[in-house]
Structure 1
Amino acid sequence: MKLNYTQSKTEMMAAYNCLLHLYPSLTLEDYSQMLDNMLPNNYGQVLAYNTENEIIGVCGIWLGTKLWCGKYLELDNVVIAPEYRSSGLGKQITEFTEKIAREKECKIMVLDAYTSNFKAHKFYYNQGFGPKGFHFIKDL
């Protein structure tokens, strides 16, 4: 497997089919428009390729700075094709993103996981993440 960090819309568009595993109703047009809005705001992706050079994993990355923590890297929408889950790919992606965070001199890495996603909680605990607070949402 090969991992690559990209900020190229063309490369990200190639990940569309993999993203459908998490967002089956996402249209190609909507995805393209979202990337147009996201890319100017320090968005990137880590793409995972199998030996046939097919994208089998996607992890969105936001780089930013906040008063409470300084520079940070946020993992966003980690998606792994079902046939590659529990293969160690998630760990490889997490380690790869940590390397990027250190290269960018980030102080922390953050992510959100749904409160009901216990499998993700266990995985991220095992990767050294821990809860710091609540992420509150108000639908508009």
Structure 2
Amino acid sequence: MFENPFVKTLAVALLMGIFLVDMGLGLFDVFSSKSSPLPSAFVLMIFAVMFIGGMVFYEKQGLDTLSSVVAGAFAGIGLSFVFITLVGGVQFALGGGISALGWEQVISAVAACMIAGIIMIKVLSHKLENHSY
């Protein structure tokens, strides 16, 4: 089924659209409630795991220690942010937030994010093909 390039691309686009809209809803939820959807201990644990993983990854890529610590911190912050917004989006949707916004707006947002996601993937893959390592 996923050997068909159309089905594969459509599946990736749909997942990216849902992912991006969920993050947007999570941002909306976090800013409207002015609180994190996760307890601080979980956020700190997510940051710690991502920080250590990012630091080790960048050290293996040849960065010096200070640069790998900074890159690991950015990876930890970024991935913690993504995880918090994803959880916030799910909580917002399960709490009836999609009905409050309206299904038409949410479906339109998913469609727009599908288009934007596929454009990002195609541009990145084109740039990576032309880049020599």
TM range (shorter): under 0.3
Q: Which has the higher contact order (CA 8 A, sep 6+)?
A: 2
TM normalised by structure 1 equals 0.26
Higher Cα radius of gyration:
2
**Which structure's residues are more often helix, by fraction?**
2
**Which structure's residues are more often strand, by fraction?**
1
